[in-house]
Amino acid sequence: MPYIAKINVTLRQSILDVQGKAVDHALKNLGYRSAGSTRIGKYIEVTINEEQRSEAERIANEIAQKLLSNPVMENYSLELEEINS
């Protein structure tokens, strides 16, 4: 059964998010006084063709750590969903 890994990559809190700052600026210009502290990340979907959920999860974590995120400045979270074909 194939799985779909849904991975969110976000900048660590200690890293200045200049894209988020630019969006904050636009929000202020639009008059949204209560909205702010925007943080921008990436959302990535990867299909993993494995029979076992545990194996799909292992692979998803491995690629998230190895390629999709840089642990020096980013965190990731992932969800694994079964694809019902």
Partner 1 sequence: MSEITVGVVVFPGSNCDHDTQHALASFTGVKPVMLWHNDHDLQGAQAIVLPGGFSYGDYLRAGAIARFSPIMQEVIEFAHKGYPVLGICNGFQVLLESGLLEGALSRNRDKKFLCCQTTIRAVNGSTMFTSLYPEDEVLRIPIAHGEGNYFAPPEVIESLEEHNQVVFKYTDAEGRITDEANPNGSAKNIAGIINRQGNVLGLMPHPERASDKQLGSLDGRGLFESLFLHLAGV
Residue (25 or 53) nearer to partner 1, CB: 25
Cα diameter, the chain:
51
Q: What is the nearest approach in angstroms of partner 1 to the Cβ of residue 53?
A: 26
Nearest CB to partner 1, comparing residues 45 and 51: 45
CB of 15 to partner 1, least distance (A): 5
DSSP secondary structure string, 6-62?
EEEEEE-TTS--HHHHHHHHHHHHTT-TT-------EEEEEEE--SSHHHHHHHHHH
Contact residues toward partner 1 (CB under 8 A) are 11, 15-16, 18-19, 21-22, 42, 67-68, 70, 72-73
